[in-house]
Amino acid sequence: MNSKAAQDSRLTSRVAAFLGRIRIVLIDTTHPGNIGATARAMKVMGLERLHLVAPKVFPHADATARASGADDLLQHARVHESLEQAIQGCSLVLGTSARLRSLSMPQLNVRKAAEQAMTEPGQQDIAILFGRERHGLTNEQIQRCHRLVHIETNPEYGSLNIAQAVQLMAYELRMAALGSGAVEKPPTDWQPVDAGQMELFYEHLEQALLDVEFLNPRQPKKLMMRLRRLFNRARPDQNEINILRGILAAAQRAAGKRQGTDD
User: With respect to ligand SAH, which residue has the nearer C-beta, 158 or 220?
Assistant: 158
Q: How far is the CB of 158 from ligand SAH (least distance, A)?
A: 5
Sequence-distant (≥ 6) Cβ neighbours of residue 136 within 8 angstroms: 97, 98, 99, 159
Q: Is residue 52 at the binding interface for ligand SAH, with CB under 6 A as the rule? A: no
Site string for ligand SAH, 153-172 (x = CB under 6 A): x----xxx-x--x-------
Does the footprint of ligand SAH cover residue 150 (CB under 6 A)?
Answer: yes
- The amino acid present at 113, given as its one-letter code, is A
- The torsion angles phi and psi of 55, rounded to 5 degrees, stand at -65, 145
Which of 32, 33, 55, 136 is close enough to bind ligand SAH by CB under 6 A?
136
Q: List Cα–Cα distances, 194 to 94, 200, 256, in angstroms.
A: 28, 10, 30
Q: How far apart are CA 168 and CA 130, in angstroms?
A: 12
User: To the nearest whole angstrom, how small is the minimum distance from the Cβ of residue 32 to ligand SAH?
Assistant: 15
User: Least distance (Å) from ligand SAH to the CB of residue 98?
Assistant: 4
Residue whose CB is less far from ligand SAH, 99 or 218: 99
Report in angstroms how near the CB of residue 177 gets to ligand SAH at its nearest. Answer: 20
Q: Is 131 in the site for ligand SAH (CB under 6 A)?
A: yes
**Where does this chain touch ligand SAH (CB under 6 A) — which range of 97-105, 179-187, 212-220, 255-263?**
97-105
Largest CA distance in the chain: 78
Among 4, 99, 221, 222, binds ligand SAH (CB under 6 A): 99
Cis peptide bond N-terminal to 59, omega within 30:
yes
Q: Rounded to whole angstroms, what are the CA distances from 245 to 8, 96, 197, 204, 250?
A: 52, 33, 11, 7, 9
If one counts every other C-beta atom within 10 angstroms of the C-beta of residue 213, the result is 11
What are residue 128's phi and psi, to 5 degrees?
A: -120, 120
Nearest approach in angstroms of CB 201 to ligand SAH is: 35
| Closer residue to ligand SAH, CB minimum distance, 151 or 205 | 151
Q: How far is the CB of 121 from ligand SAH (least distance, A)?
A: 25
- Count of other CB atoms within 10 angstroms of residue 235: 14
> How many residues form the binding site for ligand SAH (CB under 6 A)?
19
Nearer to ligand SAH, 92 or 241 (CB): 92
CA angle 180, 185, 186 (to 5 degrees): 145
Among 19, 114, 130, 193, binds ligand SAH (CB under 6 A): 130
Does position 133 interact with ligand SAH (CB under 6 A)? The reply is yes
183 and 119 in contact (C-beta within 8 Å)? no
What residues make contact with ligand SAH under the rule CB under 6 A? 96-99, 130-131, 133, 135-137, 149-151, 153, 158-160, 162, 165
